[in-house]
Amino acid sequence: MSTAASEAAGRLVRLAEADRAPLRFFLDGSERQALTGDTVLSAVLSVAPALRGSEFGPELRAGFCLMGACQDCWIWQEDGPRLRACSTPLAEGMRLLSDAPGEWP
């Protein structure tokens, strides 16, 4: 968590283990900071209220089970396959998208 503003935007509240080394990633093109050991889900939800929109309703999606059973938490990357955010560790420099990339049908 770098700024008070991004904390207000995020859903996730860090209660412990907050002194891990910072890790940089990109969400919709802007640089964000998370911590080493974060899952993609933790990283994104620490700066945003959700991972993406729903394709079947007006609501947003932010994961549901966090154990790989519900498949609610997938998220796009600028390149490469979509990721199951709850079970994918964040990697330095990951470029994630909360909306479908341009060429998505």
Partner 1 sequence: MSEAMRLQVVVVGAGPAGIRAAEILVGGGLRPIVIDEGERAGGQIYRRPPQGFTRPPEALYGSEAAKAVALHRSFDAMAAAGRLAHHPRSSVVAIAQGRLQVLDTEGSRWIAYDRLILATGAMDRIMPVPGWQSAGVYGLGAMQIALKAQGAALGRRLVLAGSGPLLTLLAVQLLKAGAQIAAVLDTTPMRQQLRGFTGLSARPLLALRGLMMRRRLAGLYHAGVRLERIEADERGPVAVLWRDEMGRSQRTACDAVGLGWHLRAETRLADLAGCDFAYDGTWRQWLPEADAMGRAGHGVYLAGDGLRILGADGAEIAGRLAAAACLQDLGLPGPDIAADRRRLARFGRFARGLAQAFPWPAETAASLPDETVICRCEGVTAAELRRAVDFGGGEVNRAKSLGRVGMGRCQGRYCELAAAEIVAGSAGLPCVAAAGRLRGQAPVRPAPIAALLQDTAAEG
Between CA 88 and CA 53 the distance in angstroms is 19
Query: Least CB distance from residue 97 to partner 1, whole Å?
Result: 17
Tell me if 2 contacts partner 1 by CB under 8 A.
no
Site for partner 1 in 20-59 (CB under 8 A): 20, 36-39, 42, 45-46, 49-51, 54, 56-59
How does DSSP assign 22-81, residue by residue? EEEEEETTEEEEEETT-BHHHHHHTTSS-SEE-SSSSSEE--SSSSSSS---EEEESSS-
Tell me if 80 contacts partner 1 by CB under 8 A.
no
Tell me if 5 contacts partner 1 by CB under 8 A.
no
Please, what is the Cα angle at 36 between 85 and 84, to 5 degrees? 10
Tell me if 3 contacts partner 1 by CB under 8 A.
no
Between CA 50 and CA 54 the distance in angstroms is 10
Residue number, 21 or 29, with CB nearest to partner 1: 21
Binding site for partner 1 (CB under 8 A): 11-18, 20, 36-39, 42, 45-46, 49-51, 54, 56-72, 81, 86-87, 89
